[in-house]
Amino acid sequence: MLRYQLSTTRMDAPSEYQALVERHLAHMESQLKHVDPELVHAVVELSRHSRREEYRAVLRLFVLDSALVSRRSAESVEGALLAAAQGVERQLQRYMGRLRGEHRYERTRAGLAPAARAADERVLIEERELLDRALAGDRAAFDRLTWDELPAVSAVIRKELERAGAAGSGVERIGERVLTRTLATCFEALARRPANMSLQGWLADTARRLTREEAGLAGTKEGA
């Protein structure tokens, strides 16, 4: 479990919220498996408003030499902590993405701290192993390889659907179908991925094309 400190103000003792906090931190831990655990820790502060039924969560995640911070308020402790955790997870995803990207350019890589460079080397080794297995027909390896890209790909699909006029439950329903098709299509065509495209770029490009197809089909059915 990721090391953390928890404090509360005008609320029950911190021990009452440990399970809730640890559940959210566990989600982040999967993105940090290549980072030395000694170089990662979190500080969580929960407080209740003095005059109204409102809770505030402040989550600070210290990774290597960086601090990711999110502050959120809600009508419940669970809501405030969930929002704060999601805020830090988005920052962490961007941070790890930059770390991987910087590592691939030797000029920039030379400026990385040794711990950051070591963490990224482990990421790249695992990605290479997953890619080799996926190319050999291992779908589970492909799913692990693309897991971190799914939020960005889903955002592309959502934007294309909204641009096509989809709304409400239609966006979720068609979006899930398009994401499933995108992953299946890219898995089958993995060996033919353009060499000049990143994995995320290729997935997004495929998702964009399939979304337009799905939106067109949906429009045709409604017109009929």
Q: In this predicted model, what pLDDT tens digit does every residue of 139-167 receive, in sequence order?
A: 999 998 888 788 888 889 988 888 888 77
On the question of pLDDT at 223 being above 70, the answer is no
Give the residue, 61 or 109, on which the prediction is more confident.
61
d(CA 178, CA 161): 10
pLDDT tens digits for 6-51?
999 999 888 889 999 999 999 888 888 778 888 899 999 999 988 8
> Pick from 56, 1, 57: which is nearest to 25 by CA?
1
Domains in the chain: ranges and CATH:
4-95 (3.30.160.100), 137-223 (1.10.1740)
CA distance 70 to 90: 10
User: 89 or 30, which is more confident?
Assistant: 89
pTM: 0.51
What's the whole-number mean pLDDT along residues 125-138? 84
Residue whose entry in the numeric block shows the structure tokens 């499933």: 180
Q: Given this model, what pLDDT does residue 119 score? A: 61
